[in-house]
Amino acid sequence: MTETPHSWARAIGRSLDIYYRDAARTARMDALHASLIRPGARVFDIGAHVGDRTGSFLRLGASVVALEPQPPVFRALRLIHGRTPGAVLLPCACGVAPGRIVLHLNRRNPTVATVEAGFIAAAHGAPGWQAEVWDHDVDVEVTTLDALVTTYGTPDFVKIDVEGHEPSVLQGLGTALPMLSFEVTTIQRAAAMACVARLQALGRYAYNLSLGEEHALRHDRWLTPEALIAELAALPDAANSGDVYARRL
């Protein structure tokens, strides 16, 4: 089926409903972020989508560099945050090296756009993913975390949510940063484990976890990399997704 601009608009409208109309979710998200960053912090939002987390960081007094490579989604992001002081919005992906890359779009569910064929393969036939179809490709610009640091300064926090591409994003980083988060999915746990390995190669980190839309850390005491990997391996498939938080020691 050919997707029309109206179909795109409906899909993005669903994203806006999910990420902006749930006041309780927004409150949880702000409370979590407030425990991680201070007013005046610099944040990179890699895979900003429609900018709900960008908005949270901005409300807490941070400046934000937000990246979103999907052209229609970036237009929505720009409409929401384009005139917000402290927000820099970039229509590009993030990866190992600067250049260009093919982004696979799911025009009925733009939250799961990905550059990783392995992510699409892992989703094929997986419970809860049967209806997902990546039906269009677009060539997009790629930058790196190192390039962003050179241009905008060292961030206090980096959020990475790029559907299985998180390890490649971290391969484009050459120095340990104070704090990061990256998505984990139960269809591709190895990607999250590769992120842990990359961070440990850069420095010493402790870890925590938030699942689904909880927006709350599951552990009072931060975990060793070994303990986190064991927890990720033991997650039930129904957990689906969440965010790993990494704090430099």
180-199: per-residue pLDDT in tens? 999 999 999 999 999 999 99
* DSSP type of residue 239: G
Supply the DSSP string of 162-210, one letter for each residue. -TT-HHHHHHT--S--SEEEEEEETT-HHHHHHHHHHHHHHS-EEEEEE
Beta bridge partners of 225: none
Do 6 and 121 touch, CB atoms closer than 8 A?
A: no
What pLDDT does 10 receive?
86
Helices (H) and strands (E) in the chain, counts: 9, 10
What pLDDT does 2 receive?
45
Do 29 and 144 touch, CB atoms closer than 8 A?
A: no
What architecture is the 5-248 domain classified under in CATH? 3-Layer(aba) Sandwich (3.40)
What pLDDT does 1 receive?
39
Extract the residue ranges of the chain whose pLDDT is less than 70. Answer: 1-6
Do 210 and 218 touch, CB atoms closer than 8 A?
A: yes
Domain ranges of the chain: 5-248
Do 162 and 169 touch, CB atoms closer than 8 A?
A: yes
pLDDT digit string, tens, across residues 119-170: 999 999 999 999 999 999 999 999 999 999 999 999 999 999 999 999 999 9
Q: Residue type for 38, please? A: R
Token pair for residue 242? 């969440």
Neighbouring CB atoms inside 10 A of 119's CB total: 22
